[in-house]
Chains A and B, each alone.
Chain A
């Protein structure tokens, strides 16, 4: 099999010709519209005769729906119609879920049974949102409460009430992978330890809720959709659920998405809204209110119990790991169980651990469904790996930094294949850790901590490292479902040079803050040697654009970056041919020189950019015979080092590129309030070649803020009756400027050998490292009390209890 791709940089950055634009400070081109208040978000889209939706939600954690009386709602002036779950379930196909779970169907509205408090039951369409909400209050639903199960381990036990009666077991997936000789390594180990960890349910909670506008056109039988979406295969899933041809769905990706970090997967919102538009023949807008979002938006993140065993020597070198993960998926697993699949690609972190047993259990309970969250499941897994390394260090009495150094994969080991089959492309972990250590000034931190303790204060230092896989891959679908043989996960870019010689590019995705227009224009500017600010990047709709899998998996610098390079190089090859023909030369005897082409020996005239443009567009008689007119090229890139199915024992090449970071933090815990404050936050970071330093830094800083939230504050808490009790921003606490400290950061560049510029991914590593680093620091602070924390978030109440 030959997968065509642009050739990677052979040289490392040291000897490469210096880039014109790559790696240089440059303003993001998107920002101007945002600071002027001229962004176009899905909630800003309006259409003639637009109608609005309000939702009736289940108040019960689990209940049979006995009857729904909509007569009073329908009688309200301004109400166009009311749709119940019965109708929607009959008229649409179930939403896509990725496990093989016969009898477990997920629809936008509950049908016969509501399975969590807040699940949507009825949708009302009216001329404005306020009238729709009035009408929703007039809908009378009669329920018969059923026993609910909220604890994942109870849900796994025999005799538990089933969440889905047609699938009597609440365990939806259970598999144990064994990679390497785990039993032998444990038997031979000088030491072992066991620990249980709990990663509680939280999410990245964007400030924009999910918004969608759907317009069914009865004249063309087409569905137009504007949505705040960040989701692979969104148009396809809309078409399938609605039973309409995919070429009848046009998703407009030229909407700005108000943050996502994984969670903007409003497929149920979108199918519902599209259905309502088709049913009532009007354009329909649905913007979740915060309550619908928090309790019913199916956007909660991983909710896991980990049991871990480690086998290691007196020297602190870890030989083998056993990790058991129970993930509480909520009522509808959707895509979320695959978040236990992605960690397979970094299951040993940055360490040379020889064997792993990895057991995964996906359980359903009567809670809101989970969705992808920043890092796609790697944040909780890295939390556990890193806290386990801290335990190893404590067990053998070696410094935590030193234990990491002793276990690191070394620079000369790359490419390095971990036991689960994934090859890491490149890295220099000892150097990066050393940079973090120096930036943080660990010796000074130790003096600060010891002095604080001497004065009766509670202070500690934390450390964590993190592998951030980037590039994406569909492979966890096949890994967790043998009926799914997806291995393709492409990204495309189309580039045109018009009659005036200006350059435009089309990308097939919406952006949610990643500055893809800035990325693509920088890359094209570099390739064409023209000012990136003169290049226009537009977001094509789903019918006009090329295949895309959306900006997930820290992939766009890698995938969209290289697809853009590929398209640019195809165009440059064509232009070279045009210029060579004009010079009466063979293309192999000509070269690019700036924005023009000349003889390879450097003599003679330069055929200018505009002359090549004019030949291509205007003077067909000067074009090489048989060549198509115009200057346009496409490139659709498959993920580097991918395209293979898992082996029978579940070894996979997960993502192609591995970024790395090392964090060092120092915290103080207030003995009276349990509040954690930061004395120092420093990290060193390596995502290969940096394309835009400000964007890289922003991604890391934002991930750290999310990580601080997950480590200390954010949690979706259900009470014993299955009611979500943290469903507003007054209860679900997110870090503000007061909680996120100034962060010091140093960058290191180990180029990837797999990408054209050596770039890797950057979107998720901050979020994956921070919870471990913060709790590591808390545990160091708590050490004098002889206690520790093994869960996140570590709330003030938890800390006060431990400091008693």
Chain B
């Protein structure tokens, strides 16, 4: 198999790489770019741990090939905070509400919730549950996650 040249913008930085066509986007992010914040849970598109934003839309990076992202702009959890260390209101709300325990599903949750708050700045609990229904968390029972998203909506969304 020949490698393909791709160019992608990840968290605002342009990367040009030659990669095998079978490499998944999540493997590309984790192994080629060392952005290990995005996690691999099931590798068949169900658990949502690998969710990243591709051109502003949350997608499962385990079932997208990296070559499909050629020319696209991607946001991972590392790119949510503009300077990489100041928490966004959503990240801050997850910490404040104990909306996580082990932290493994958290990056996918944050990306999915970021997309929701962009679409609906003041979502109801039901709307939050609908939007996050594709992200499985085994630690929290979701309640404190829903509360975190509600808090973030009150404190400034994805600003």
**A interface residues, Cβ below 8 angstroms from B:** 27-28, 30-39, 41, 43-44, 46, 130, 204-209, 256-261, 287, 289-290, 512-515, 694-695, 697-698, 701-706, 728-730, 734, 736-738, 740, 742-743, 766
Flag if A36 contacts B103 (CB, 8 Å): no
Q: How far is the CA of A312 from the CA of B109 in the complex (A)?
A: 50
Q: Which of B44, B102, B128 contacts A259 (CB 8 A)?
A: B102
Q: Which residues of B contact A730 (CB under 8 A)?
A: 44, 46
B105 touches A207 (CB 8 A): yes
* Contact for A31 among B42, B43, B49, B94, CB less than 8 A: B94
Q: Which of B14-51 contact A (CB under 8 A)?
A: 20, 22-23, 30, 34-44, 46-47, 49
Pairwise interchain contact B133-A702, C-beta atoms closer than 8 A: no
Main secondary structure of the interface of A (DSSP, over half): loop
Partner of B103 from the list A31, A130, A740 (CB cut-off 8 Å) is A31
Q: How far is the CB of B38 from chain A (nearest CB, A)?
A: 7
B158 at the A interface (CB under 8 A): no
Q: Report the minimum CB–CB distance from B44 to chain A (whole Å).
A: 6
Residue among A208, A209, A512 with most chain B CB within 10 A? A208
Most buried by A among B84, B87, B95, B133: B95
Interface of B is mostly: loop
Given A34-B100, A742-B143: A737 and B132 interface contact (C-beta under 8 Å): yes
Q: Which B residues are in CB contact (< 8 Å) with A289?
A: 43
Is B76 interfacial (CB 8 A cutoff)? Answer: yes
Would A207 and B137 count as touching, CB distance under 8 A? Answer: yes
Interface residues on chain B, size class: 35 or more
Partner among B44, B105, B107, B141 whose Cβ is within 8 Å of the Cβ of A740: B141
Listed by A's residue number, 24 A-B pairs whose Cβ atoms lie within 8 Å are: A31-B103, A35-B91, A35-B100, A35-B110, A36-B84, A37-B77, A37-B78, A37-B80, A41-B36, A206-B102, A207-B41, A208-B39, A209-B41, A290-B41, A290-B42, A513-B101, A513-B139, A701-B143, A705-B141, A706-B138, A728-B42, A736-B135, A736-B136, A737-B132
**Whose C-beta in chain A lies nearest to the C-beta of B132?**
A737
Chain B 121-159 per-residue mask, 1 if CB under 8 angstroms from chain A, else 0: 000010011101111111111111110000000000000
Q: Determine the chain A residues whose CB is within 8 A of the CB of B135 once the complex forms.
A: 736-737
By a beta-carbon cutoff of 8 Å, the part of chain B in contact with chain A is 20, 22-23, 30, 34-44, 46-47, 49, 76-78, 80-81, 84-85, 87, 91-92, 94-98, 100-107, 110, 125, 128-130, 132-146
Q: Which residues of B contact A31 (CB under 8 A)?
A: 94-95, 98, 100, 103
With A37-B38, A41-B39, A258-B39 as contacts: A705 and B138 at CB distance below 8 Å: yes
Q: Assess the A513–B103 pair: CB atoms within 8 A.
A: yes
A694 lies within 8 A of B98 (CB): yes
* Contacting pair A258 B141 (CB below 8 A): no
Cβ contact within 8 Å between A205 and B143: no
Q: Say yes or no: A43-B138 contact (C-beta < 8 A), given A207-B47, A259-B104, A737-B129.
A: no
Cα–Cα, bound, A664→B130 (Å): 26
With A37-B38, A290-B43, A698-B101 known as contacts, the answer to whether A734 contacts B20 (CB < 8 A) is no
Of A512, A703, A728, the residue contacting B102 (CB under 8 A) is A512
Establish whether residues A35 and B49, one from each chain, have CB atoms under 8 Å apart when the complex forms: no
Chain B residue, CB-CB nearest to A700: B141
Q: When the two chains form the complex, which single residue of B44, B85, B141 contacts A701, counting CB atoms closer than 8 Å? A: B141
Residues of A within 8 A of B137 (CB): 207, 705
| B111 CB to nearest A CB, Å | 10
Contacting pair A207 B104 (CB below 8 A):
yes
- Report the bound CA distance from A742 to B125 in whole Å: 10
The reply to whether B103 and A737 form a contact with Cβ atoms under 8 Å apart is no
A290 to B46, CA, bound (A): 11
**Could you say which residues of chain B place their CB within 8 Å of the CB of A737?**
128-130, 132-133, 135, 142, 145-146
Given contacts A37-B77, A729-B44, contact A206 B104 (CB under 8 A): yes
A698 to B142, CA, bound (A): 9
20 extra interchain contacts, Cβ-Cβ under 8 A, other than A513-B102, A701-B142?
A: A35-B95, A36-B37, A37-B35, A41-B36, A206-B102, A207-B49, A207-B136, A207-B138, A208-B102, A258-B104, A290-B42, A701-B143, A705-B137, A705-B142, A728-B42, A730-B46, A736-B136, A737-B128, A737-B129, A743-B141
With both chains docked as a complex, state the minimum distance between the C-beta of A24 and any C-beta of chain B, in angstroms: 13
Q: Find out whether the CB atom of A37 lies under 8 angstroms from the CB atom of B136.
A: no
The answer to whether B138 touches A728, judged by C-beta atoms less than 8 angstroms apart, is no
In whole Å, how far is B58's beta carbon from the nearest beta carbon of chain A?
15
CA of A576 to CA of B134, assembled, Å:
56
B95 touching A259 by the CB < 8 A rule? no
CA distance A89 to B78 in the complex (A): 44
Question: Which residue, of B97, B100, B104, B132, has the highest number of chain A Cβ atoms within 10 A?
Answer: B104
Chain B residues near A742 (CB-CB < 8 A)? 125, 143, 146
Measured between alpha carbons, how far is A695 from B98 in the docked complex, in Å? Answer: 7
For residue B63, give the distance in angstroms from its CB to the closest CB of chain A. 12
The winner among B41, B92, B101, B105 for most chain A CB atoms within 10 A is B101
Known: A290-B44, A701-B144. A36 touches B102 (CB 8 A): no
- B140→A259 contact, CB < 8 A: no
A35 touches B94 (CB 8 A): yes
Closest chain B CB from A768 CB (angstroms)? 15
With both chains docked as a complex, state the minimum distance between the C-beta of A235 and any C-beta of chain B, in angstroms. 22
Whether A37 contacts B76 by the Cβ 8 Å rule is: yes
User: Can you name the residue of chain A whose Cβ is closest to the Cβ of B46?
Assistant: A729
Docked-complex contact B102 and A32, CB < 8 angstroms: no
Evaluate whether A207 and B39 lie within 8 angstroms (CB atoms) in the complex, with A31-B94, A36-B91 already known.
yes
A743: B residues at CB distance < 8 A: 141, 143
Contact at A256–B98, with CB atoms within 8 Å?
A: no
By a CB distance below 8 angstroms, the chain B residues around A38 are: 37, 78
- With contacts A207-B47, A207-B49, A737-B133 known, is A702 near B87, CB below 8 A? no
- In the complex, which residues of chain A have a beta carbon less than 8 angstroms from the beta carbon of B100? 31, 34-35, 513
